[in-house]
Structure formats: structure tokens, C-alpha cells
Amino acid sequence: MPRHTVAKIDLDALRHNYRLARERAGDAIAMAVIKADGYGHGIRAVARALAAETDCFAVACLEEALAIRDEGLPHTVVLLEGVHAAEDVASCQRLGLEPVLHSHHQTAWLTQASARPRSWIKVNSGMNRLGFAPAELTEVMARLADADCPVRGFMTHFAAADEADNPATEAQTRCFQQAVAPWPEAELSVGNSAAHFRVGQPLFDWSRPGVMLYGASPLPEQMGTELGLKPVMTLESELIAVRTLNPGDAVGYGQTWIAERPTPMGIVAIGYGDGYPRHAGTGTPVWVKGRRASLIGRVSMDMLAVDLSAAPAARPGDRVELWGERIPVDEVARWAGTIGYELLTGVTARVPRLYHQSGRNA
Ligand SMILES: *Cc1c(COP(=O)(O)O)cnc(C)c1O
């Protein structure tokens, strides 16, 4: 009998969220960002589910692109970090992948290779993570042209698109537009999920929604559901023990939580070994028997404790939702001092992903 800890994945919700991204992208086309194993949802299933919705996937690295090709999907695949070794250039050509070049060593691999995959150029407009400075573009483009390496367009990434009042996004947009102005034929791509919710933000030819596809919020002050998104992953487990604590009884490692009154308590079969955040402390909500209950004490590797005062009828075998339809992943993330992205991508391989669509298992 397998453990009852599972991540249920709603593929209809995934498609709903992609359609919302497409709508919000306006005249831009939304490339579906499915790196990091589809933000923890399983890259193969996510790619299959979105195959009829999108023409273009974006991933971080070659291994992720291989998974898409392995599924027999012919879509354009953009490698957001480009290639990591000279020999990857030939793989890009063979598999029809489009690397994003961000550094001179990558352009050298490309110009010296016999393969000539179509590529994108990353422009550093202020994120200062990857990309060429605007002043370097003329030289980079000339080198690529000399070597007959086709360039599809330019890309840049926003550092603070989730902060409504931060002028950095406008400044980055202006910097990017000026930098690429000499190449009017090039296709342009900006825009993570947060940028889709900025009023008046141009997204040019291609936007790149990631986390919003999975129903988590890219904005710090709003939950995904408030943005019209539907949760895709519901992380569930089960009560495996229930007891009543006496006043003075402590719970778990470090005995950090002590009962003040007789308290019904349950143990849930999930912990940080499954990707549930250990930083989620006492008070973090969980859903039990139609009620919100609270986590108490420290999260263990395979278990956590909940105060069942709000659901005193709960018994071993009852299902518990850690996040998903009832408890927004964004809310749990807040309790754990992090963002939904980290929780979704952090669900470990021990947790089976169960897919469903149109009311049936998929
Ligand atoms: C991950 C990533 C995205 C998607 O970001 P979200 O905030 O998840 O929407 C877009 N562009 C680049 C370059 C990325 O690395």
C-alpha cells in the first residue's frame, strides 16, 4: 500500500491559466515556461497538456528540452540559459532548439561550430544576472553575422516587475527598446508572469509566463485566485494518528509548542522530505474535514502536527490538504517566509504526481 501523500495536478486549470496568460499578453505570444520540471508539476505531462495551446516552450537547460522532444512534441523550444558546453550547439541544431546567448564564450562556441541553430541574444537591461550590455550588441551581432549564425531576436528579463510602484521596469523597458532599435526585424521578448499584470506594460512579440501557469501568484500582495488564476497542484496527505494533548504536553522536535488546554491533535504523513517547508511554523493553515486547522510545532522530515480544535471529529485516514484548492500555496509560502515558486518546485520525487482532466484521471 503506497503512502497517501500525493500531488494532484489539474490539467484543465493549467490550460485555463495559460489562456489567461495569452489573453493578458495582448498582441504578444506567450511562450509557456516549463523549466524546473514544469515548476514541480512534471515537465512531460505539462508539455503534453499545453501542446495544443502553445507553439513555444521555454526551459532552462538542454535536459529539459530533451524531455519535451522525448514526448514527440515538435514545438519551438527556447533554452533560457543557452548552452552549457560547445558540443550542445550541435544538439540544438539537431533537435531544433533555440539557445539564448548571454556571454561571449557562448557566441564563440556558436561561431566555431559547424551547426548553426537559430538563437536569441540576451540583453542586460538592469537585472545584472545574464546578458550583454547594450553597448556590446553591435559587436556580437556582427560576429554572428560573419559566421552566418541566424539570430531570431532579443530578450531581456525584469528584476522587479512584481513591485507595482517600482520604476525599474519602465527603465529596463526603455533601455531594452533603445538597445535593440538598430535591428527592427528582430523579434523581441520580455515579460515574466508579473509583467502580464502591469497596466500598460509592452510585452513586444513574445511574453514568457511561468509561475502563473501553475496558479501561483507572481505578485507579493495578491493571491493567485485574486488574479483569476486556478491552482493546479493540490498537495494532499492523510492523518495517520490522532490524540488529545493534556495541558503542558509539548509537540515535536525541540518541544516548541506546548498545549495550554486539552487539545485534539493529529499527525499528517508529510514533511520536509516531501518538500513541505520546514520554515512553515505554528499557525500555518492546513485543510482538514472541511475546516481550516493550524500546523503546530516543528515540521519533521516525514510528518507534521496539526491542532484539530477546529475539526475535532477528524480521525486517522482523513484527507488533509497542505495547499491547493482550499489553501493557496501563496499563503503557505508567506508563513514559510518564501514564495509559491519555491514550494511548487520543491515538492520532492517521493511524492507521486496524479494527473486529472475533465473530471477523470489522466
Ligand atoms: C523563469 C523565467 C521566466 C518565467 O518567470 P515567472 O516569474 O515564473 O513567470 C521568464 N523568463 C526567464 C528568462 C526566466 O528565467
Is 8 designated active site? no
Residue 66 contacts residue 79 (beta carbons within 8 Å) = no
- Residue with the bigger pLDDT between 164 and 142: it is 142
Domains 26-208 and 233-361 share a fold: no
Q: State if residue 209 touches ligand 1 by the CB under 6 angstroms criterion.
A: yes
Give 175-222 pLDDT, tens digit per residue. 999 999 999 999 999 999 999 999 999 999 999 999 999 999 999 999
Report pTM: 0.97
Q: What CATH number should be reported for the domain whose range is 233-361?
A: 2.40.37.10
Q: State if residue 32 touches ligand 1 by the CB under 6 angstroms criterion.
A: no
Residue 280 contacts residue 336 (beta carbons within 8 Å) = yes
pLDDT the model gives residue 296: 98
SS3 sequence of the chain? CCCCCEEEEEHHHHHHHHHHHHHHCCCCEECEECHHHHHCCCHHHHHHHHCCCCCEEEECCHHHHHHHHHCCCCCEEEECCCCCCCCHHHHHHHHCEEEEECCHHHHHHHHHCCCCCCEEEEECCCCCCCCECHHHHHHHHHHHHHCCCCEEEEECCCCCCCCCCCCHHHHHHHHHHHHHCCCCCCEEECCCHHHHHCCCCCCECEECCCHHHHCCCCCCCCCHHHHCCCCCEEEEEEEEEEEEECCCCEECHHHCEECCCCEEEEEECCCHHHCCCCCCCCCCEEEECCEEEEEECCCCCCCEEEECCCCCCCCCCCEEEEECCCCCHHHHHHHCCCCHHHHHHHCCCCCCEEEEECCEEC
pLDDT the model gives residue 99: 98
- Mean pLDDT to the nearest integer, 236-241: 98
Q: State if residue 215 touches ligand 1 by the CB under 6 angstroms criterion.
A: no
Distance, in Å, from the CA atom of 15 to the CA atom of 34, rounded to the nearest integer, reads 13
Length of the chain counted residue by residue: 362
pLDDT the model gives residue 3: 83
Distance, in Å, from the CA atom of 171 to the CA atom of 177, rounded to the nearest integer, reads 10
Q: Break the chain into its structural domains and give their ranges.
A: 26-208, 233-361
Query: Residue 1: is its pLDDT beyond 80?
Result: no
Residue 223 contacts residue 330 (beta carbons within 8 Å) = yes
Nearest to 155 by CA among 179, 136, 138: 179
Give 317-329 pLDDT, tens digit per residue. 999 999 999 999 9
Give 98-145 pLDDT, tens digit per residue. 999 999 999 999 999 999 999 999 999 999 999 999 999 999 999 999
Minimal-distance CA residue to ligand 1 atom 6: 210
Share of the chain above pLDDT 70, in %: 100
Give 242-251 pLDDT, tens digit per residue. 999 999 999 9
Catalytic residue (choose from 8, 39, 122, 253) = 253
pLDDT the model gives residue 2: 79
**Rounded mean pLDDT of the chain?**
97
CATH 3.40.50.10490 fits 26-208, yes or no: no
